[in-house]
Chain A
Amino acid sequence: MFKRVLVANRGEIAVRVTRTLIEMGITPLAIYSEADAHALHVQLAAEALCVGPEASAESYLVGSRVIAAALELGAEAIHPGYGFLSENAGFARAVMAAGLTWIGPPPEAIEAMGDKLTARRVVEAAGVPVVPGVSRPMRDAEEAAAIAEEIGYPVMLKASAGGGGKGMRLVHDKAALIAGLAAARREAAGAFGDDAVYIEKFVTEPHHIEVQVFCDAHGACVHFGERECSVQRRHQKVIEEAPSPFISEALRQEMGAVAVAAARACGYVGAGTVEFLVGGDQRFYFLEMNTRLQVEHPVTELVYGVDLVELQLRVAAGAPLPMTQAEITPRGHAIECRVYAEDPDTWLPAPGAITALRWPSGPGVRIDAGVQDHSVVSAAYDPMIAKLCVWAADRDKAIARARRALRETAILGITTNLALHRRVMDDARFIQGRYDTGMLSAPLSPCADEAEDDTLLLIAAALDQRARDLEIRQRARCASGALSPWRRQGGAGGRL
């Protein structure tokens, strides 16, 4: 096993990977931007190097600097986390060329799955069902409109190099298509340096369900069931759960087998996620494969009792998978709430300084946070600051536990989407497991006790202010000496 590993990331995922390194007795090494010098992931690491200024394009995304830091720190391997350079085949190759181990899939697999259009072709050839659409970049609005007419509205515009909802637009008619194509291109060019956008039919009552796969370098490939990721805003996941309340056991097995086939089709090694779109009719289609650890991997870890990062490290070091498919069985239910620094009504990002922080604790609660008290959430990075996860014996108990954990949570100084999570946990569609990706398209009803809590907040703020005002007056009096207890007792001054 490795003795020193560099985590080439920041925020909650760098913290999460570092924790497993510590548990395995591996020396954790970190990189950071100038803005992250005091970040939690740096404080947890044994050694760390600065790789550039705040802008990630000049720090975390500069592969040569990351590799130079790894070599200087004496790392044997690099764990890329998710985002940044994790799905960059050129970076993976450069890591290996520098004599380091790449904790991720082979660069060829990243390339095959990294471009969504190539991925469609590769998995289609392996018999994996795909969504009707045109798997090549649109030349212009005219061509896009013609294809949309052919496969029928509504259609989805997607960035070829995309991910995380960037460069994606759902459009219902030609006018929206033309405007949406320009916006999707601009967003894709900004986020990925590639403005190629393609078109897919939009599946109705869509569910976003993904399967966790894991392959070793010796030909074994297994899956760890599915994650239901249908609670989304702006095409980005907000809440995930495992198992999915929507699919049948037979469909679960079928999707697992297809996901393993997709992974095998691209010669996969390591942890990967095969994303599917599942219609209201329970027909499923391949969406994409994420060739890295997924943000929402904790729900799988909780339900299957595995540490996926530990498995990644063992497989990267050449060990075979320690379990067979028959030995992989789920237990209980897990839910993840992604805590975003954003307004829960407008989805607008809300960076700022955290002035107070209280995380929940107790049975079945797991917090993966990249921030701590007094952290500054920068506008330069992703607004996701933490993941609040719960596990319980069944789904109803998991929802009750999530509700309890959310009530224990306080994040002050910045606006977060915690209120949205509370509302989802009280939403009848969520409670009954009857929701799709349209769940957050309309505002959710307030929780029953929200108005009462709002009133209590005013009471608390007023009582707090009164106490502060009295303290200030007290100090002023003491300073003037007018009411000094020594004087009142008749002495000319204090005497002990």
Chain B
Amino acid sequence: MMRYTIKRGGEARWVQIQALEDGLFDVQVEGEPTRRVRMTRSGGRLHLLEGADSHLVEISGERGARYAAIDGVHAALEVYDDAALRRLRAREGLSGGDEIIASPMPGRVVQILVTEGQAVQAGQAVAIVEAMKMENELRAQINGVVQAIYATEGMQVDGKTPLIMLEPTT
């Protein structure tokens, strides 16, 4: 029996695998009944057969950033075994997420719409970043007060570069 926890966006679910015979598995996804699946694998391609339902899956990337597609549905996933999950939980305890507003993609900072000390509401636009010739508004995810601004207008930024830090208010 092996168990993996798979994160997709903010949601994490475990998947438990029991190998039966070569290529045949009983698989249970958290909160769902167990299903019997036949799997063959070659390079980055998986073939899943469940009864008469046949699916081709493309899969690539590293454990922390795995990409998969099935029947045109795509997802970016993080895959953890139990040990890796314990390490992740320990790390996440140290820093939260929503108080940092980061550029979601590489681009240029067009405008910072807030100043230090300013109160902002969840959903309020705080900065404009231009990427691929389009302007995109970045919004606060939480209510808070602007604690620090790391970016300047005209600055080129990479994806995930922190631009603004908020102090959460309740």
Contacts and interface: CB of A to CB of B under 8 A. Distances in A.
Interface of A: 166, 183, 186-187, 190-191, 234, 342, 346-351, 355-356, 358, 379-383, 406-413, 415-416, 418-419, 422, 449-450, 453-467, 469
A353 to B, nearest CB: 10
A456 B76 CA distance: 14
A382 B72 contact: no
Give the interface centre of A346, A453, A460, A467 by most chain B CB atoms within 10 Å: A460
A199 B59 CA distance: 48
Nearest to A454: B73
| Secondary structure type dominating chain B contacts | strand
Interface residues of B, number: 52
Given A415-B76, A458-B15, A462-B6, A350 B105 contact: yes
A354 to B, nearest CB: 9
Contact of B75 (A379, A383, A457, A462): A457
26 contacts: A166-B134, A187-B135, A234-B134, A347-B136, A349-B134, A356-B58, A356-B59, A356-B60, A410-B72, A412-B61, A412-B67, A412-B68, A413-B61, A418-B72, A454-B73, A455-B29, A456-B70, A457-B8, A458-B15, A458-B77, A461-B68, A462-B4, A462-B27, A463-B41, A463-B48, A465-B63
A110 B60 CA distance: 46
B114 to A, nearest CB: 16
Contacts of A459: 15, 27, 29, 35, 37, 48
A351 B105 contact: yes
A190 B129 CA distance: 13
B28 to A, nearest CB: 9
B119 interface: no
Contacts of A450: 73
A94 B15 CA distance: 63
Contact of A461 (B2, B74, B77): B77
Given A381-B132, A383-B132, A416-B74, A461 B44 contact: no
Given A348-B131, A412-B68, 18 more contacts: A183-B135, A346-B104, A348-B104, A356-B59, A407-B72, A410-B72, A412-B60, A412-B67, A419-B74, A422-B72, A422-B73, A454-B73, A459-B29, A460-B59, A461-B59, A463-B46, A464-B41, A464-B68
B21 interface: no
Given A379-B105, A383-B132, A459-B35, A466 B17 contact: yes
A342 B134 CA distance: 12
B71 to A, nearest CB: 5
A413 B105 contact: no
Contacts of A383: 132
Contacts of B44: 356, 412
Contacts of B15: 458-459, 461-462
Nearest to A383: B132
A457 B55 CA distance: 10
Contact of B105 (A349, A381, A458, A463): A349
A450 B39 CA distance: 21
B29 A382 contact: no
Interface in B34-67: 35, 37, 39, 41, 44, 46, 48, 55, 57-61, 63, 66-67
Interface string B95-115: 000000000111100100000
A465 B6 CA distance: 10
A121 B92 CA distance: 62
A351 B59 contact: no
Given A455-B32, A459-B27, A411 B74 contact: yes
A303 to B, nearest CB: 24
A356 B4 contact: no
B13 interface: yes
B46 A449 contact: no
Nearest to B79: A465
A467 B61 CA distance: 15
B167 interface: no
B132 A379 contact: yes
Contacts of B134: 166, 234, 349
A166 B133 CA distance: 8
B73 A463 contact: no
Given A418-B74, A459-B15, A460-B48, A191 B57 contact: no
Nearest to B136: A348
A358 B131 contact: no
Contacts of A457: 8, 57, 68-70, 73, 75, 77
The 9 lowest CB-CB distance pairs between A and B, nearest first, are A410-B69, A462-B15, A410-B58, A412-B67, A355-B60, A349-B132, A453-B73, A356-B60, A407-B72
Give the interface centre of A453, A455, A459 by most chain B CB atoms within 10 Å: A459
